Homo-oligomer: A and B are copies of this chain.
């Protein structure tokens, strides 16, 4: 199918099969080499980054739509996904790049007619295991003919984004910090097995503050949600740390009872 044709079909699909004036935006967090990362994408013809988004089909639950969108982007079926805020300001769309994009791609105003000019956007944050993610540009899947590039970016180094997406990331981060004690942050951001220092680094990165190594370990073990495994030697000139994995059942139970307060 030709490129122009694909875009026209895409627009037609949005107009006919998706809820008008409602969109979703995703703040996808990953953790790699001691850094908290977020997934960003770029539209073809626009040189500013933005968050991945999605739309809700007419007969689709919003939560299902969110999982679907994220699966299409990351290839992950099992992720932690949660709405954190709904953004409804008119000025959200002040820096809308749709017009710019349209012009650059050589489409007429009529081609894009009927698309909503203003959206309410439901913000979701997702916690995914960095190594398992396969960022997929929409171009390859025909799911979004605008998306050219998609890649991870350190949370501290996020550039100026389109729309209110910078604010979205900040609100998502704030929510993440607040929910650290009653959401399964650990086993959705870390690989199956991990060391205590890794776990601590994750918490420190999210909270943005140092924690006492000894008290942290004591506390984590006291929750009774960790299983200790073998020792792990990665070649450093130091004592080998133990590998741990989460006891999912006990973790869930502790979360339900909100016993995992950290700070």
Contact = CB atoms under 8 A, between A and B. Distances in A.
Contacts of A83: 85-86
Interface of A: 19-22, 56, 58-63, 65, 83, 85-91, 118, 120, 122
A63 B85 contact: no
A20 to B, nearest CB: 5
A262 to B, nearest CB: 14
Say how many copies of this protein the assembly contains. 2
23 contacts: A19-B21, A19-B120, A20-B21, A21-B21, A22-B22, A56-B88, A56-B120, A58-B118, A59-B90, A61-B88, A61-B89, A61-B90, A61-B91, A62-B86, A62-B88, A62-B120, A63-B89, A65-B88, A83-B85, A83-B86, A86-B122, A120-B120, A120-B122
A97 to B, nearest CB: 21
Contacts of A89: 61-63
A90 B60 contact: yes
Given A61-B89, A61-B90, A88-B122, 20 more contacts: A19-B21, A19-B118, A20-B20, A20-B21, A21-B21, A22-B22, A22-B120, A56-B88, A60-B90, A61-B88, A61-B91, A62-B86, A62-B88, A62-B120, A65-B88, A83-B85, A83-B86, A86-B86, A86-B122, A120-B122
Nearest to A60: B90
Nearest to A18: B21
A89 B63 CA distance: 7
A118 B86 CA distance: 18
Contacts of A88: 56, 61-63, 65, 122
Across the A-B interface, give the 5 residue pairs with the lowest CB-CB distance, nearest first.
A62-B88, A19-B21, A86-B86, A61-B89, A22-B120
A174 to B, nearest CB: 11
Nearest to A58: B118
Contacts of A21: 19-22
A56 B90 CA distance: 11
